[in-house]
A = this chain, B = another copy of it.
Amino acid sequence: MKLVPGRKERLGDQLYGQILDQIIAGTYREGDKLPSESQICQAFQVSRPTVREALMRLHADGLVATRQGSGTFVQKRPSGHLTRLAPVSDIAGILRCMEVRMALEDRAAGLAAERRGAADLDRIERALAALRSSLEAGAVPVQADYDFHRAVATASGNALFAEMLEVLHETIHQSMTVALGITHTRSKERARRVIEEHEAIAEAIQRRDAEGASLAMRYHLHRARQRVTDGQREL
């Protein structure tokens, strides 16, 4: 088994995708020990830093856990739903995108609470209403979700935040499709939580609470990321 670096794709990402693939497929199940670093190096013909990077990402996603001195164990097995919603090769990209969004939107939401005008609040409320009614109707409101986050970014008063989201547009749409798709297949419970998380962001921006808005945004994106990798649980 040999990894061939694709254009612009890091070996660590490819290896990450391959291991994730085997965890989803059930080759390694929850509680199973992964092969050692050296074994992975040999099996995939990659360097040790590449293996470490891949394991680090799996660790950051909460999929594996390292027990000091004993090795790396599978912690969580992403839902089969996930693979029906996106090819495994895209999951790494989606999680990378979430990582950048957490950095950008955390700050944008805080600034939005300080600087939003009346038109900003309107845009945010309209997107929230569309998101709410669509989720309650059992639909997958990708556009409303994107509109909400874009409206918050715009309300920051710094056009670059919205521009950055536009650059990430395609991957964000894809990750929302996956995250909301999972929500769709789950209980009403989950739809309610997704709505509440967005409401908390909107309310904090409305009452000019910068710390609260930034916190609510980070909390939402952190949970959204959990929902992508942790399909079996109700989050």
Taking Cβ atoms with an 8 Å cutoff, the residues of A that contact B are 8, 10, 12, 36-38, 49, 52-53, 55-57, 60, 62, 65-66, 68-72, 75-76, 96-97, 99-100, 102-104, 106-108, 111, 114-115, 117-119, 157-161, 163-164, 167-168, 193, 196, 200, 207-209, 211-212, 215-216, 218-219, 222-223, 226
Contacts and interface: CB of A to CB of B under 8 A. Distances in A.
Contact of A99 (B62, B97, B111, B168): B111
Contacts of A106: 103
Contact of A115 (B56, B108, B159): B56
A219 to B, nearest CB: 5
A49 B118 contact: yes
Given A102-B107, A103-B107, A222-B212, A160 B96 contact: yes
Copies of this chain, count:
4
Nearest to A118: B49
A161 to B, nearest CB: 6
